[in-house]
C-alpha cells in the first residue's frame, strides 16, 4: 500500500485508488513489523516540521530523520514495534513539501530507493524497489550497464509497480532468462514513476539513474511506452539500429503487452533499399520477432502499452555477403500464448523472405 502526501492535502492510495483528505493530520493503522519509508526531495527544515507519532511503539519523530538515504542510496524505514498501533503524521499549515509514504510488512530483504536527478544507484542484494522522486525534464528512469553473471547464479526480472500494488499487481516487463547468450544490456528504458526487481543476492551489477530514452538500438536492451502497462495511448516511435557500413544485423525482439486490454501493436523492420516488413502482435499474446539483414531501423506503432526486450548480433559484412547484389533478409514472427483458450495460436509461425532490389 502506498500513501502520498502532496501539497497541502493528503493523498491516500489504497488498491490504486486515490482519496483526497482535507485534514492536515492522517492516521495509518499499523502492525508490529510494519516498515514505513518516506521518499521526498524536500528541504530539511520543511521535513522536520512534518511530525510522526506512534504511541504504542513510543515513536515521536519527524520526516527529516527518515528521508536521507544511506550511502548505498536506500532508505532506513521507521519500524513499528507494537501490535495494533496507529501512526499519526501531521503537516503544519502552509507546508506543501511533497512526500511519498510507502509501507510494507511482508516483503523479505526489502530495499527502498528514492531516485533523484543525480542518482547513480548500484546493485544491492535483496528485493529492490525504486521511486522517481525527481522528474528531470526529458529524462526517464533507466537501468544502465546491466551485467548478468550466470555462472554466479545471476538473473534479473523487473516489474512495473511495487509490492502491494493491486490494480494491476507488479507487472513483468523484463527477464534476463529470455536470452541464454546475452549477459550484458546497455540500457533498459523505464519511463515509470516506480518499479521493482526480483530478489537477487549475487551475480548481477547495474546502475539505476535518470537518462535519455533510447533512440538507437544497441547490442541489447529494453524500450518501453510511458506508463506501462496500464497507460493506453497511441504511440509511433522509430529506433535506428547501430551497424557499420554494409554490416548485416540479426535482430531479436520479445514484446510484452497488457493482456487485460485488447489492442494491436505493429513492429515494422526496415532494411536497406527501402525494403520493410510489418509484423502485428495482439496484446493477448506475448510474441517473438527475429529478423536479419541490412536493418536500418525499427518502427513501433501501438494504441496501447508495450515493453520490448531485444538484442542484436552482427552476422556478416559486404565482404562476405554483398548487400548490393541481392542479400535476402528474413523475418520470423512467432506468437506464444500462456492462455489455454489460445493454445491453438501458440505454434503460429510466419516466415517471410524479403528480396532487396
Last residue of a domain, one of 104, 137, 166: 104
In a shared domain, residues 95 and 121: no
Average pLDDT, the chain: 83
The pLDDT value recorded for residue 316 is 65
pLDDT tens-digit map of 289-331: 999 999 999 999 999 999 999 999 988 654 333 232 223 344 4
Closest by Cα among 239, 235, 140, 157 to 191: 140
In a shared domain, residues 62 and 92: yes
CATH code where residue 133 lies? 2.60.120.290
In a shared domain, residues 86 and 13: yes
Q: pLDDT category, 24, cuts 50, 70, 90?
A: confident
DSSP of 215-268: -EE-SEEEEE-TTTTT----EEEEEEE---TT-EEEEEEEEEE-TTS--EEEEE
In a domain, 228, yes or no: no
pLDDT tens-digit map of 109-145: 999 999 999 999 999 999 999 999 998 999 999 999 9
Burial of 180 by CB count in 10 Å (0-12 exposed, 13-18 middle, 19+ buried)?
exposed
Q: pLDDT category, 17, cuts 50, 70, 90?
A: very low
In a shared domain, residues 97 and 123: no
In a shared domain, residues 187 and 162: yes
Last residue of a domain, one of 82, 104, 126: 104
Question: Out of 151-165, 184-198, 341-355, which region has the weakest mean confidence (pLDDT)?
Answer: 341-355
DSSP of 158-223: EEES-TT--SSPPEEEEEGGG-TT--EEEEEEE-SSEEEEEEE-SSEEEEEEEEPPP-EE-SEEEE
In a domain, 221, yes or no: no
In a shared domain, residues 187 and 272: no
In a shared domain, residues 58 and 72: yes
Are the beta carbons of 128 and 157 closer than 8 angstroms?
Answer: no
Range of the domain at 46: 2-104
Domains held by the chain: number? 3
In a shared domain, residues 72 and 161: no
In a domain, 305, yes or no: yes
More confident residue, 9 or 90: 90
CA 140 – CA 209 distance, rounded (Å): 8
CATH code where residue 31 lies? 2.60.120
In a domain, 219, yes or no: no
pTM over 0.95: no
Amino acid at each position: 500500500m502506498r500513501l502520498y502526501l502532496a501539497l497541502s492535502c493528503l493523498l491516500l492510495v489504497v488498491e490504486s485508488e486515490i482519496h483526497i483528505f482535507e485534514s492536515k493530520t492522517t492516521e495509518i493503522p499499523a502492525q508490529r513489523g510494519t516498515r514505513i519509508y518516506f521518499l521526498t526531495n524536500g528541504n530539511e527544515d520543511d521535513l522536520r516540521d512534518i511530525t510522526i507519532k506512534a504511541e504504542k511503539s513510543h515513536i515521536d519523530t519527524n520526516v527529516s530523520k527518515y528521508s536521507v538515504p544511506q550511502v548505498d542510496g536506500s532508505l532506513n524505514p521507521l519500524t513499528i514495534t507494537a501490535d495494533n498501533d496507529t501512526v499519526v503524521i501531521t503537516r503544519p499549515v502552509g507546508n506543501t513539501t511533497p512526500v511519498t509514504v510507502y509501507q510494507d510488512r511482508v516483503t523479505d530483504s526489502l530495499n527502498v530507493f528514492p531516485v533523484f536527478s543525480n542518482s547513480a544507484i548500484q546493485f544491492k542484494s535483496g528485493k529492490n524497489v525504486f521511486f522517481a522522486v525527481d522528474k528531470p525534464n526529458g529524462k526517464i528512469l533507466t537501468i544502465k550497464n546491466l551485467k548478468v553473471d550466470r555462472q554466479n547464479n545471476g538473473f534479473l526480472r523487473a516489474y512495473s509497480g511495487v509490492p502491494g500494488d493491486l490494480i494491476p499487481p507488479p507487472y513483468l516487463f523484463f527477464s534476463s532468462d529470455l536470452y541464454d547468450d546475452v549477459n550484458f544490456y546497455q540500457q533498459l528504458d523505464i519511463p515509470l514513476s516506480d518499479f521493482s526487481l526480483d530478489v537477487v543476492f549475487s551475480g548481477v551489477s547495474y546502475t539505476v539513474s535518470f537518462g535519455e530514452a533510447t533512440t538507437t538500438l544497441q547490442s541489447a536492451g529494453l524500450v518501453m511506452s510511458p506508463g506501462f502497462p496500464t497507460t493506453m495511448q497511441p504511440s509511433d516511435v522509430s529506433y535506428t539500429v547501430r551497424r557499420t557500413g554494409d554490416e548485416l544485423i540479426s535482430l531479436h525482439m520479445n514484446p510484452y503487452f497488457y493482456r487485460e486490454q485488447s489492442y494491436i501493436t505493429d513492429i515494422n523492420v526496415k532494411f536497406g533499399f527501402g525494403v520493410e516488413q510489418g509484423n502485428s502482435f495482439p496484446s493477448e499474446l506475448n510474441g517473438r520477432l527475429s529478423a536479419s539483414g541490412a536493418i536500418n531501423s525499427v518502427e513501433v506503432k501501438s494504441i496501447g502499452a508495450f515493453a520490448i526486450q531485444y538484442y542484436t548480433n552482427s552476422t556478416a559484412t559486404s565482404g562476405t555477403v554483398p548487400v548490393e547484389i541481392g542479400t535476402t533478409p528474413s523475418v520470423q514472427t512467432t506468437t506464444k500464448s500462456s492462455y489455454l483458450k489460445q493454445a491453438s495460436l501458440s505454434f503460429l509461425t510466419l516466415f517471410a523472405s524479403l528480396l532487396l532490389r
